[in-house]
Amino acid sequence: MSQAINQIQDEIIDEFSMLDGDMEMTISYIMELGEQLPEMTEANKTEDNIVKGCQSKVWMKAGLEDGKVEFEADSNTAITKGLVSLLVRILSGKSPQEIIDADLYFIDKIGLNRFIGTQRSNGFGAMMKQMKIYGLAFSTKTQSA
């Protein structure tokens, strides 16, 4: 049984609270998280897998294994890679329905909006939307199977 979405979000909130809102420390931490993101297969870094709406390049792909959605992602910028790694950590290994229902409150709680700014948060929004779309697609597929 994987950790619940909210449990992971709470863990992340705890981790970021230790950084005390310091912008430089936060960016360093986000970059570290990005470095830990499992490598995305080069073959999957295609035009089709680019998330539209991000200032920097983000690739994302998902597959369904035993009823759980597994996400793969990468970015050509270190900070965005860190940001997307947070989403992968929270939503990977969850059922399509859990992903559809997920309320990603950690963004507000860790003040990520303040850190990532409007344009960049739109990109972040695009990543979240893409993950929800995957959730929805897999859910439809599972139901019709």
Partner 1 sequence: MSNTLTDHHIDVERIRKEFQVLDQEVNGKPLIYFDNAATNQKPQRVIDALVHHYQNDNANIHRGIHTLAERSTAKFEETRKAVQEFIGANEAEEIIFTKGTSESINLVASSWGRKFLNQGDEVLISAMEHHSNIVPWQMICEERGAILKVMPINEAGEIILEEVEQLLTEKAKMVAFNHASNTLGTINPVKKITKMAHAVGAKVLIDGAQSTSHLEVNVKDLNVDFFAFSAHKMYGPTGLGVLYGKRGILEKIPPYQGGGEMIKDVSFGGTTYNDIPYKFEAGTPDIANVIALKKAIEFIDELGKENISAYEEELLSYATEQLSAIEGLRIIGTAQEKVSVVSFEVEGIHHFDLGMWLDAKGIAVRTGHHCTQPLMDHYCIEGTARASFAVYNTKSEIDTFVSALKDIITKFK
Tell me which residues touch partner 1 (CB under 8 A): 22-24, 26-28, 31, 55-56, 76-80, 120
53 CB-contact burial (10 Å; exposed 0-12 / middle 13-18 / buried 19+): middle
List 5, 8, 54, 83, catalytic entry: 54
Q: Tell me how far, at minimum, the Cβ of 66 lies from partner 1, in Å.
A: 36
Inter-axis angle of helices 112-144 and 23-36, nearest 10 = 30
* Residue with Cβ nearer partner 1 (21 or 38): 21
Q: Tell me how far, at minimum, the Cβ of 23 lies from partner 1, in Å.
A: 4
Q: Tell me how far, at minimum, the Cβ of 52 lies from partner 1, in Å.
A: 16
Has 54 been annotated as catalytic?
yes
Q: Tell me how far, at minimum, the Cβ of 68 lies from partner 1, in Å.
A: 32
Q: Kindly state the tokens that stand for 42.
A: 């080069």
Which H or E run includes 53?
none
| Alpha helix ranges (H) inside the chain | 5-17, 23-36, 78-91, 96-101, 106-109, 112-144
* Residue with Cβ nearer partner 1 (57 or 129): 57
67 CB-contact burial (10 Å; exposed 0-12 / middle 13-18 / buried 19+): exposed
* Residue with Cβ nearer partner 1 (126 or 136): 126
Q: Please check whether residue 84 is in contact with residue 63, taking contact to mean a CB–CB distance below 8 angstroms.
A: no
* Residue with Cβ nearer partner 1 (123 or 135): 123
Active site residues: 54
